[in-house]
Structure formats: structure tokens, C-alpha cells
Amino acid sequence: MTSTPLFRDDAYQADCEARVIGLTPEGGIICDASVFYPTGGGQPGDSGRLEWDGGAIAIATAIKGDAGAIILIPAAPDSLPPIGTRVTQRLDWTLRHRHMRVHTALHLLSVVIALPVSGGSIGSDKGRLDFDMAEPPEDKQAIEDQLNALIERDLTVSEDWITDEALLADPSLVKTMSVMPPMGQGRVRLVRIGAGEDQVDLQPCGGTHVARTSEIGRVRLGKIEKKGRQNRRVTLHLD
């Protein structure tokens, strides 16, 4: 069972019509298409609501299943729509958009701190990246200022696709040390920030992002914590 990931083509689509094609033994719902992003790549799964003729259910999150399935996890063990039911999916758009803002801001953080990334996490108010950084940065305020300057440039955020082979031939595109981008489908999605001479970042990513950096709004840096001999955790907050 495969769910068409509508969020990949349009991160701003907040609802859709779909058909239930499967139910898991644990009470998860699989539809033939999904605006719900499933947990992965440090980004939480979306929440929202599923509605159908004669019923509705709150969705707490979404996760990845086998063979491209996206499983919607109900917030409570209520009655589920039977297989074959036509449903309307509605995102908690406020939460999704905050994830998009934080996720895009983290891409820019990896531009300002041009070091290998060993981990990361996205939340609705803040996010963090772990860097291969032996010593803390000398000027935290300068990093915050550079980050906000990039955001204020109102750069476009777009995507492209390359083959698995092309990515393997250019390992400089991959900033993460511990996790390789999802491969095996023949092609990999790249997220580009800026265009032409204004391009500041290009890296593989399957998450959702805002269309322009100005949409992020101002951010501020939080703690910079030591998480090992060669590891520093840098947290940013939506202001």
C-alpha cells in the first residue's frame, strides 16, 4: 500500500480528499494520498483531523509504514473509517507552518556554521543542530546576526531532483555525518535556498519548508551545549 505524499509537491496544501486503503492492527489509518507529513528527518509528523460522511477523528501524528505507506495515528481509540471510505484530511496548519519555519531556519544555520552536522531536531517553537565542533563559537551574537540577515534577504526556497548516482558522485551536498539521505528510489530531492548568484544552500532533504526565507521571521540563538568531545548542540528559537 502506497500513499501519495502530497506535501512533497505542495507544502502549503492544508487539506485533501483521499480514500482509506488500509487499517493497521494498532488502529492506524492508511489513505491513498496524504497531506500529513510522517515523522522523519528530525521533523515531527503532522497532526490534524480526518472527516467522512457520518464521522470524524482527531489525528495525533503520522508515521512511515512499509512500501511507501503513510500511517495516520488517531489521538484516541475512536471508531475508524472502513476501508474504501472517502475522507477529508485537514492539517493543524498552524503547527505545520511552524515546523516549516523552523526547518528552513535550520538549513540556514548550517550555512552560517559551515561544519558537518551530526544530528538535528525540529519543534514548533525551536530546533537544534549538532555540529562537529570541538570548541564553542567565539561570537554567538555574530552567528545570530548572520542568520537573521540571511532570513531578511527574502531568498526563494525551491527544490530539484537528482539521481542516486549523481548524489554519490558529489558527496559535498550531504551535510549530515550520521544519516544519509533516503536513496534507493532512483532519485533524491534537493532543497535550494536562493537562486543563481544568490544561492546560499543546496542539500538533500525530504521535509517541508517555507517558500521564502522572510516567512521564517526573526530567530534567536539559545544554548550552545557541549555534547561530546567533538560535538556542540546549537539551538535556535522562533522569536
Q: Give per-residue pLDDT as tens, 219-238.
A: 999 989 998 888 999 999 99
Give dist(CA 68, CA 60) in Å, integer: 20
The yes-or-no verdict on residue 68 having pLDDT over 80 is: yes
Which candidate, 72, 68, 71, places its Cα nearest to that of 184? 68
pLDDT of the residue at 173: 73
Q: Which of 18-27, 80-89, 188-197, 211-220 has the lowest mean pLDDT?
A: 188-197
DSSP string, 60-112: EEEEE-GGG-EEEEESS--PPPPTT-EEEEEE-HHHHHHHHHHHHHHHHHHHH
Condensed to tens digits (0 to 9), the pLDDT of residues 154-202 reads: 999 999 888 877 777 777 777 675 555 665 567 788 999 999 999 999 9
Total-model pTM: 0.93
Give dist(CA 1, CA 99) in Å, integer: 27
Exposed, middle or buried by CB within 10 Å (0-12, 13-18, 19+), for 3? buried
